[in-house]
Amino acid sequence: MKKVLILAYDFPPYVSVGGLRPYSWYKYFKEFGLYPIVVTRQWGNKYGNHLDYVAQSDSNETIIEETEYGTIIRTPYSPNLSNRILLKYGDNKFRFIRKLITAYYEFMQFVFFIGPKSGIYQGAQNYLSQNNVDVIIATGEPFVLFKYASKLSSIYDTPWIADFRDPWSQNKNRNRYKIIKLVYAYFEKRYLKKVSKILTVSAFLVSKISMLIKHKEIITIQNGYDLKYAAEASDVKQYTDLFTIAFAGTIYEWHPWRIALQCLNDFAEQNEISLRLNIYGVNIQKQIEEYLNSNCSKSLMVNFYPKMPNNLLLQELAKANVLLLFNDYSILGTKIFDYLAVCRKILLCFSEDPLALELKKKYFCISEFAQHSNKLQEELILETDSGIIVKNESHLHEVLMKITREFNEYKKISCNSKGIEAYSRRNQANKLAELIKSIQNER
């Protein structure tokens, strides 16, 4: 059986959508004739929030787990000075000093093998010094893993694959200063010079990456949902006591969340009803709470829940009557696949709302191409018949009127989605396995 070494910084038990992608490879590769060895860092869920990303690992020794799916190598993690200050004093103290230290390590990790992520490289090198593998995959971000894979590929004469979950140097939101973009573009081209294949999650990102990395084959391996978790969620019944909307994940600056909240609140007040909105693992809870306190009434009941493992999240989403999704235009993302998995009607907000489009113009982090669709979520929802494309505020009022009537009559909202099986992570892992085998056949 061919062996695949996977460098993955985000990986369970850390709760992260980015970790689900390499986890699916680890879980399904053996079915398709590959043996996965994952090198990640040790994760704990001590804080249950963003501090877990920088918390000291419980052990200073590498932990190796042999399971029915493959091998996991969990390397120790030690926070740098910036992270230690954050853990000790909180978010609001010594912010400038922390940013300087973080910037130093962010740059120097690409020059030297230093910084809190370097344990991944050491763990992979220790394994390869005693074992042979057929292919190395690095999934980013963090994109320093591309450097590690490139170096290991050179030392051990092993082909490697770069997996882009997001753009690197071309991400406008992360690289707002031209000098930073140029530096990252240099490293991106340098470390991908001898890469065998490049993966990414959509055809749009294929075109985006190929503008910088030329003469390399770039393949789309989409994200998806877990079949087992979807089956478990299928047994969960919808709320019958109160019409409930659910939202999960990160909110970005271009998301019209204020517009949606105000619309939900106004609808509830005008119709003298109560609506429940359950929000899971959101990144801006404080800002939302402040907006609610200033602008909304108790007719809109909003509950916040922390990040949770994907299987538990799907069961929570399945309790909702409908699911709220914000438009990400040319980005398909991972959230929509979890929404598909639980077979609850999706409300995509918004397709042509003027204020939402202003937010997009101001904040959207990826330049779009005329020849590529900027309606990926819309197209998937229409293809699978899994929801409603909400045009604007007034349309949302109309939609809410219709679906709350349905809820009052039947105590549930129907969703007759179709063809979602094609988007399981198992299917996507199979495609990747075939690609890996083809690389071996080429050598």
Residue 53 confidence class, pLDDT cut points 50, 70, 90: confident
Residue 85 lies in a domain: no
One domain, residues 429 and 398: no
For 13, counting Cβ atoms within 10 Å of its Cβ (0-12 exposed, 13-18 middle, 19+ buried), the class is exposed
Residues 57 and 195 in one domain: yes
Q: Can you give the pTM of this predicted structure?
A: 0.84
Per-residue model confidence as pLDDT tens digits over 185-219: 899 999 999 999 999 998 888 888 888 888 888 99
Residue 186 falls within a domain, yes or no? yes
Is 64 within 8 Å of 72 (Cβ atoms)?
Answer: yes
- Decide if 104 is inside a domain: no
Compute the distance between CA of residue 17 and CA of residue 277 in angstroms, rounded to an integer.
22
Q: Are residues 241 and 155 in the same domain?
A: no
Do 69 and 42 fall within a single domain?
yes
| Residues 304 and 411 both lie in one domain | yes
Residues 240 and 189 in one domain: no
- Do residue 237 and residue 294 come from a single domain? yes
Calculate the average pLDDT of the chain: 91
Q: Does the structure show a pLDDT above 90 at 293?
A: yes
Dihedral of the alpha carbons of 290, 295, 297, 298, in degrees to the nearest 10: -10
Return the CATH number at 174.
Answer: 3.40.50.2000
367 and 306 in a common domain: yes
Supply the range of the domain harboring residue 343: 227-423
Is it the case that residue 122 has pLDDT exceeding 60?
yes
The rounded distance, in Å, linking the Cα atoms of 435 and 415 is 35
Residues 391 and 436 in one domain: no
Q: Give a yes or no: residue 83 inside a domain.
A: no
> Can you tell me which residue has the tokens 């019409």?
243
| Within-domain flag for 351 | yes
Per-residue model confidence as pLDDT tens digits over 132-183? 999 999 998 899 999 999 999 999 999 999 999 988 887 766 656 677 788 8
What pLDDT was estimated at residue 177? 67
Q: Which DSSP string do the residues of 173-223 spell out, in sequence order?
A: TT--SHHHHHHHHHHHHHHTTT-SEEEESSHHHHHHHHTTS-SS-EEE---
Name the burial class of residue 277, with classes exposed (0-12), middle (13-18) and buried (19+) by CB atoms within 10 angstroms of its CB.
Answer: buried
Q: Does residue 276 lie within any of the structural domains?
A: yes
- Phi, psi of 179, rounded to the nearest 5 degrees: -65, -40
Q: How far is CA 80 from each of CA 14, 43, 45, 61, 316, rounded to the nearest angstrom?
A: 19, 16, 19, 18, 36
- The verdict on 30 and 120 lying in the same domain is yes
296 and 267 both lie in a single domain: yes
Give the separation between CA 341 and CA 344, rounded to whole angstroms: 8
pLDDT at 59 over 70: yes
pLDDT at residue 366 tops 80: no
In a domain, 105, yes or no: no
Domain count, the chain: 2
Q: Given a cut of 80, is residue 370 above it in pLDDT?
A: no
Domain-embedded: residue 144: yes
* 315 and 416 both lie in a single domain: yes
